[in-house]
Structure formats: C-alpha cells, structure tokens
Chains A and B, each alone.
Chain A
Amino acid sequence: MFSRMAPRGRSGLGRSLAELGLLLLAILVLLDGTVLSLEAATSSEIDTHEGKPGTHKNTSKKSFPVLGIKYDDVSVPFEISLWVLLASLMKLGFHLIPRLSNVVPESCLLISVGLLVGGILKLARDEVPPVLSDRIFFLCLLPPIILDAGYFLPIRPFVENIGTILMFAVVGTLWNAFFVGGLIYAVCQIAQDKYSEIDLSNIGILPCLLFGSIISAVDPVAVLAVFEEIHINELLHILVFGESLLNDAVTVVLYHLFEEFMESGSVSAVDAILGLVSFLIVALGGVLVGAFYGILAAFTSRFTSHTRVIEPLFVFLYSYMAYLSAEVFHLSGIMSLIACGAVMRPYVEANISHKSHTTIKYFLKMWSSVSETLIFIFLGVATVEGEHHWNWVFLTSTVVLCLVARVIGVVGLTYIINKFRIVKLTTKDQFIIAYGGLRGAIAFSLGFILHSEHKKIFLTAIITVIFFTVFVQGMTIKPLVELLAVKKKHEAKRSINEEIHTRFLDHLLTGIEDICGHYGHHHWKNKLNRFNKKYVKKILIAGDRSKEPQLIAFYHKLEMKNAIQMVESGGGSKLNSTFPSTVSMQNIQPKIHSPPSARPSERALPQLTKGREEEIRQILRTNLQKTRQRLQSYNRHTLVVDPDEEGFDDLILKKRRMMELDWKVCKTSSHKSSNAIYSQAYVKPGAENVPTIKIDLASPQSPDSVRLLDEVVQDQGLTMSLPSSSSRAYKTSGKDDGRDQQKLLRCLSDPGPDVDDDEDYDDDEPVPT
C-alpha cells in the first residue's frame, strides 16, 4: 500500500512529517520556555526581595530597568493559553498526516501526546503540575462538550428510542456497577498476591461497590470522540450516545450513595429506598432545572431583535447557569445541560438572526473540540504524574469484568427490550452497543476526588480501563464496523420530499391510532405538538414566526442554502434561469420565484437574452472587485460600517432605495395569486408580472445583489415599476401594513458588515472534527 502511494505520496508524506516535526520542535521550545520562565520567575522574586533591604541601606543605586521579566502576574493565564495552544497545534498536526488519522482515532493520539508531554515535563522539572484537577474538569472542560451535544441533539430519534435508552442507561449502569463491584470484591478476597505490598483483602465491599459505580458509566466524551469518526447509523449512535448522557444521573446518585455509606459505615433498607428516591429526584430535578433555564433563554431571545450581537451570549450563559445550578443541589448537571439545550433550541432558533445561529454553532463546536482535546491530553499527563500501584490481579480482573459485565448487560437488556420495540435490535446492533461502551475522563475525575485509602489502586485500575477501552476498542471499532457491514449514516441531507412525506405519515399514523383507540406514540406526540403550537410558541417566539408552520420554515432553510450556494458558485450562468429567491429566514410571506430551476439539472427556462446576461455578469464582476478592496473600520457595538468611511454615503443611498423598493414589493407579494406561473418566470421589459428580486439585507451576499438591482434599475431598462395591481395592493393591504412593516423591519434589522463579510462566508455545514 505504501509503494502505491509512493510516487504521489512520498513527497507529501515527507512534507507532512517535516511539518509535524517542526510543530513538535516548536512545542518543545514553548514548553522549555515555560520551564525557563518559571525558573526566571523564582529568581526574579529573589531579586526583588534582595532589592528591598538594598533600598533601606541605600548603598547601591539601581539603574532604571529597561527590560525585565515579570512572570508571576501572568503565569496562570499564560500557562492556560499555552496548554490550549498545544492542544490546538496537536489537532492541526494530526490532520496533516492522513494515514495516521485514518487508522488511529484522535482520542488515542491525544492521550499519547499527553503521555509524551507529561513525560517531558517530569524529566524537565522532576514534578508535574497536577493539571487535571476536578474543579477544572467539571466546571470548565466538561460543560462545553455536553452543551454541544445537547443543543444539537437530534430530538426525534432520541425521543423515539427513549425507552431503550433509559433502559440501557439506568438498568444497564446499575447492573454494571453491582456486577463489577461485587465480583471485584470476591476477587480481592480470593486473590492472594505475595508480591504486592497491598493486602487486597483489606478492601471492603463498600469501596468495591463505589469503585464499581465509578467504572461502570459509559463516558459521553469518549463515545463522541470515537463514534463521530466511524459514521455509524443514526439509531446506534443515538442509543450509545443517549445512554452515555443519561447515565450521569445514575452515576451521581450511586457515587454519593456509596460515599455516604462508607462514611456512616452501615447500610439499612431505609437507606436503599432513600437512594432510589434520590435517584428520581436527581434525574428529574436536573431535567426540570435545565428546562426552566431553557424556557428563560427562549423567552429572553424573544426580545433581542435590537441587540443581535449578544444573542449567542444568552444561549451560553443560560446553559452554563443551568449546569451550575444543578450542581449546587447535587442534581445531575449533565442532564440539566442537555434539557436546557434541547428545550431552548427550537424557540431560540426561530428568534435569533441567521448570523447568531452560525455564531452559536461555531462557538459550541470550537469550545467542545478544544475541551475534548485538552481532556485527553490532561489524561495522558495525569497518568504520568500520579503514583501508581500496580497489582496485576486487580487490574486484569477489573478489565475483564468490565467487558463481561457490559456484554451480559447489553444482551440481557436487549432481549427484554426487543419485546417492546417495533424495530428490533439485531445481534450486530447489540455487538456494537456493547463494544461502544467506552470509559473516559469522567470516571477518572470521579476517582480523583475519592477520599478512600485505596485511592491509588483504584485510580490505577480506572486509568487502565480507560486506556484499554479508548485504545483497543477505539482503534478496532472502525474495522469491525466495516467488517460486520453495519449500516452507516446517510450523508445526504433531508430533502423536501422526505420532510413532507414524513409529516404526512405522522398525520396518517395519528389518525390510524385514533381509529384503533390506541393511545400510542403518535397520539401523545400530536397532543404535545398542538399544545406547543397553541400556547408555548405564542409566548416564546417573537412576532409572526410563531405562526409559521414547520414545513414552511424547513422549506425556507432549504431555499436559503440553495440561494447562497448559487451565488457562491458564480451566479452568472444561472442568473438567466432564476433570480435569488426570497430567502430570509425571518420573512413570513416571501415572494418565491426561483425554485423550479434552483437545481442545475434539467428544465433550462428561457430567460434573459445573451446580451443582457453578459451585461449583468459584467456588472457583477466589476462591483465584486470593488468591494473586496475596501478596508473597513467598524464600530465594536453595532457592526455597522463606520460613517466616516469613504463612499459610504452612496451605499446608504442605495440601501434606502432598496428598502423602498423592497417595501413596495413586499406589499404586492401577497396579492399576486393570478400571476403566479412559476415555470415561466421570464422577464420582459415592461411586463405585467415582473419577477421581483427580493433581497435579504441580512444575508452576506446582499450588497452585490443590491448593486445588481440598482444597476438593473438604472441602466438596463428592466422595469421594476410596480405592476398595476399595486394600487389595489395599497388599498386592500391596510391591515397588513403593520405586519408587513414589522416583517420588513425584521428583515433589515439584522445589522451586518454588509460589505466586508463576503470573504469569510464559507460553506454552511463544515464538520469540524
């Protein structure tokens, strides 16, 4: 395989290796810099101490320090930034070597890097700073990942499989905990290791059960990291991932339960029942707290139409508050975060601008990516740092027991679950679910904060299990998926057909359920939807969007994407078949003219003549060039181009003209029923039904379209004069005035750097890994 790649790839491989080598070198230098600067810090401290008695004695006059080192003040942020930089550079490095990232999942590479870095630091300074403290982990590193998961959780498959997920999460985790805990205790009692300094039989049943509860939980971070690379089908993904999210409640309860028991020393039946009650409270309480904050966030976003810039901040803040509030009461923070993200998403997305939506998406992905990288690196570092008690019996039996427990648990539960499922889980599915039960950093952190005398051996065992699952299972799951030919994820996005027909089937099934008198899945979903539409949406979504049916919203999104793609792929040849459609996500009654030929395939519709097309292309070319050369200054708070900018005035004028045109066009849009023949959307000067170019000034491509419109209006003779029906429109749309105005305002109220935003608008849906 390598020889096949050789002619093309050897140079590439060599180049990328060289780059990685350079990166590593840079990092080593950085780290040494840290080491050196820390030493310099200590020495500079000594200097200042000596300086003070010096001034008292007044013996020597020190000259003014032109250049000095003062590291203490910035040490903490400096080191944090250094770590994050290291993590990001590592991520860059991995993707430069394509072969490596295909074989080894990222998490393994990152842990290896962590081991390496930890080793270097240990050699350099003979002690390693404990970087993975539980405070940092639980408060800073974990929430972004969970929020990212919760906000983008695919609600429909999640809710459809909620029974299965809950079974795996609750019953599965409990089974794992007790099985592993109990059998480890048995192993400890039986095993007699002459060579170890620890007496295993000292470990009581309760510490063992505590250990079992820590090690039994499937970890969302690890699962996400591995499953995202194997692109498995949606059902399996949501099952394993949902289980990893929901078992947090169980883990929290078990952990606290066993800790309390260990301190009090005895267990009674009442305690067990209290434990059960506490589980319900932890789980439901977490969800309620999250939902509460989610609704607050949705409600707040209703009023942000004038301060679009800080919209993403609300989303992040409310979610973080939900997490912290849940942690205050010892409720499940993860579940609260998931509930918050999932609840607020539909409403917030209907309220915020397109740009805020993009911002939220990218920030979440960025933070969660960095967090994940840091977690794995720190895991590696912490492994090198801690004291380890190697006890082969304990370690191997832990690993074996974990695997066995997982397999038995999954098989047993699937047998029961399949009796209630419409689509049964096959053996292949079961295998993947069992194999995907990875442990990760949460287990490590929980072990880290143990107050037990056997902490070290537990920690060693936890690390061993984590390494085993991440390395062995993580690396082999991809080939296994290929080998077993498990169904993969469908990469294509949903088409409008699927959307329509799925809704159709929903209604159909609801009807059939009602006929059968069967209060099933669809019945309750329908009821929830109706309640949602009637009351909740009115409160939480601003203005008219609350009435917009979901189908229309979906269609708008599709159209928007299409229009953006079209403009980006160089509008010229396609311009003759269509004009950009009215694709603002904030527009309720747009005038849509484009769809039949938005796709580049069949149906070339006769549009403009060749000459006109050339003219339009010319205009676009020249105007596009102009905009890219302008340098903009901007006001931090309003994102509008600074008024001092040259040439801004005529932009304002054009904008005003556009607004007027838009305004008039908006009003005529709702009354054009008879002229709507979409397959014949051609333009004739002076034609009756002039297809209108509706421009959404909130979208990045608008300035060019603005120019086009203006040029067209001024020069080309395409009459944008209003058709005669407009007078009718003015009269009859009396009561729609207010609504139209509001619509238009929302259309235009999203301030954007209208001119200089073109460059960085890239593809809509990249998936940062």
Chain B
Amino acid sequence: MGSRASTLLREEEIEEIKKETGFSHSQITRLYSRFTSLDKGENGTLSREDFQRIPELAINPLGDRIINAFFPEGEDQVNFKGFMRTLAHFRPIEDNEKNKNPPATEPLNSRTNKLLFAFRLYDLDRDDKISRDELLQVLRMMVGVNISDDQLGSIADRTIQEADTNGDTCISFQEFMKVLEKVDVEQKMSIRFLH
C-alpha cells in the first residue's frame, strides 16, 4: 500500500468528489482502496482488462455493457473521479437532501439520472432511442441460448408495443420512464454503501 505515493488521494480531490457525487468521506476512501486494488497497473486509472478480471462480472450477462458504462466516449482509461461519478448513480436517495440545500443541478443519484444510466445501457448507439435490435440484443444476453430467435423477436415486439406511445417502434427515454413509473427505482437501483 505504501509504494503508491503518486496515486494517493489528496484531500482536495476528496472534497471535490464529495461535492460532485454526495458520497461521504469514509465511503470515498473505502471505494478508493477498492479502486487501487483493481488497478493492477498502478497508474491511477483502470482499463477494461482490470474490470474483466473480476470473476463475477464475467458471468454477468450485462458484464461488458456495465464495464463500458464506466468509460467515457472513446476513452480506454477511467480515473478515480470517473469511477466515482458512475458509482454515484447508485447512491440511495436521501430524503433530507431535499430539505437542506437544494442543489443547483440535479444530483447524480436522482431518479431521472438513475433511469438515464440504465437507458444508456440499452441504447448503445446513443441515439436516445431503444430500437428493436438493441432490445433484442439485451434480451438475448439475459435469456441465454435455449430460446429461438422467433420467440425472442415476439417478446421484443410485445415489449415495444406496450411501451411505445408515439408509434415510432422505438422506446424513447420518456416512454422508458413512463413504463417504469410503477417500479420502485429508488430502491432497485441503490446500493447500500457502508459508511
């Protein structure tokens, strides 16, 4: 642990991250130690291979997409700030936050931003629509190889038909949010980061 002097976390950085993401001090340090343990190359950034080394992620059907979500457009390395920024989406929403000081911009872990994160995982080509093919891809990943294409196709069609309100055979973000309005996203998309 001691030989990584160049990558130690500075107080200012911690404060920045705290302001941006809302994590507490102890949470940030804990996640930093996780970051460094994943960072085998010891250069302060994570690459895709570092993520793929996590064994459970390899068997996760959405593993690749999750990993991609950490990396900003076109880049291959993610630093700690980016790491925390992505993880901030999964912070539980706190009631008292609303009362104390309403933030200028919407916090990263608001319901809309959580759903936007999930939406972007479906929507690979970033055209703000989930097309039938993109949905099929995700379904195929989640369901496995036993099911025929026809069947999956009909499920995808049914899904789009249920959600699509403006008839463009794609699911836009608004439609996505509407479909999930009954689902308790605040609980489903939150991780209890231990203090």
Q: Which residues of A contact B (CB under 8 A)?
A: 160, 420, 422-424, 426, 490, 492, 495-498, 500-518, 520-521, 523, 526, 547-549, 551-552, 555, 558, 589-593, 595-596, 598-599, 602-603, 669-670, 672-673, 676, 678-679
| CB <8 Å contact, B62 and A678 | no
| CB <8 Å contact, B179 and A516 | no
How many angstroms between the C-alpha atoms of A627 and B138 in the bound complex? Answer: 46
How many angstroms between the C-alpha atoms of A75 and B10 in the bound complex? Answer: 87
When distances are taken between beta carbons in the complex, the residues of chain B under 8 Å from A517 are 34, 37
Please judge, given known A-B contacts A501-B180, A549-B143, whether A509 and B189 are in contact too, CB under 8 Å.
yes
Please judge, given known A-B contacts A497-B162, A549-B146, A596-B161, whether A516 and B87 are in contact too, CB under 8 Å.
yes
| CB <8 Å contact, A511 and B62 | yes
Give the contact stretch, choosing among B1-9, B12-20, B49-57, B99-107: B49-57
24 example contacts (A-B, Cβ-Cβ < 8 A) are as follows: A495-B162, A501-B176, A501-B183, A504-B122, A509-B189, A510-B56, A510-B60, A512-B90, A514-B54, A515-B54, A515-B66, A516-B31, A516-B34, A518-B194, A548-B146, A551-B139, A551-B143, A555-B155, A555-B158, A589-B151, A592-B151, A596-B157, A602-B167, A678-B154
Which among A497, A589, A592 has the greatest number of chain B C-beta atoms within 10 A? A497
B18-75 interface with A by 8 A CB criterion: 31, 34, 37-38, 51, 54, 56-57, 60-63, 66
How many angstroms between the C-alpha atoms of A424 and B180 in the bound complex? Answer: 21
When distances are taken between beta carbons in the complex, the residues of chain A under 8 Å from B180 are 497-498, 501
Q: Which residues of B contact A (CB under 8 A)?
A: 31, 34, 37-38, 51, 54, 56-57, 60-63, 66, 87, 90, 92, 95, 118, 121-122, 138-139, 142-144, 146-151, 153-155, 157-159, 161-163, 167, 176, 179-180, 182-194
Looking across the interface, which residue of chain A has its beta carbon closest to that of B89? Answer: A512
When distances are taken between beta carbons in the complex, the residues of chain B under 8 Å from A678 are 153-154, 157
Interface of B: prevailing SS? helix
**Extra pairs beyond A495-B179, A512-B87 (13, CB < 8 Å):** A420-B192, A423-B186, A504-B62, A504-B118, A504-B122, A505-B189, A508-B189, A512-B191, A514-B56, A515-B66, A551-B143, A589-B148, A673-B149
| CB <8 Å contact, A552 and B163 | no
How many angstroms between the C-alpha atoms of A517 and B155 in the bound complex? Answer: 34
Least CB distance, B88 to chain A, in whole angstroms: 11
Least CB distance, B122 to chain A, in whole angstroms: 8
Which among B153, B161, B179 has the greatest number of chain A C-beta atoms within 10 A? B161
Which among A495, A670, A679 has the greatest number of chain B C-beta atoms within 10 A? A495
Please judge, given known A-B contacts A589-B151, A596-B161, whether A509 and B90 are in contact too, CB under 8 Å.
yes
When distances are taken between beta carbons in the complex, the residues of chain B under 8 Å from A424 are 95
How many angstroms between the C-alpha atoms of A516 and B34 in the bound complex? Answer: 7
- Checking A511, A547, A676 against B60 with a beta-carbon cut-off of 8 angstroms, the contacting residue is A511
How many angstroms between the C-alpha atoms of A516 and B84 in the bound complex? Answer: 10
How many angstroms between the C-alpha atoms of A602 and B184 in the bound complex? Answer: 29
| CB <8 Å contact, B87 and A422 | no
When distances are taken between beta carbons in the complex, the residues of chain B under 8 Å from A508 are 62, 66, 118, 121, 189
How many angstroms between the C-alpha atoms of A490 and B162 in the bound complex? Answer: 18
When distances are taken between beta carbons in the complex, the residues of chain A under 8 Å from B90 are 509, 512
- Checking B63, B144, B146, B188 against A505 with a beta-carbon cut-off of 8 angstroms, the contacting residue is B188
Least CB distance, A413 to chain B, in whole angstroms: 19
- Checking B146, B182, B187 against A492 with a beta-carbon cut-off of 8 angstroms, the contacting residue is B182
Which among A503, A515, A596, A603 has the greatest number of chain B C-beta atoms within 10 A? A515
Least CB distance, A435 to chain B, in whole angstroms: 22
Looking across the interface, which residue of chain A has its beta carbon closest to that of B58? Answer: A514
| CB <8 Å contact, A490 and B57 | no
| CB <8 Å contact, A672 and B87 | no
Least CB distance, A162 to chain B, in whole angstroms: 14
How many angstroms between the C-alpha atoms of A549 and B192 in the bound complex? Answer: 29
When distances are taken between beta carbons in the complex, the residues of chain B under 8 Å from A496 are 155, 158-159, 162
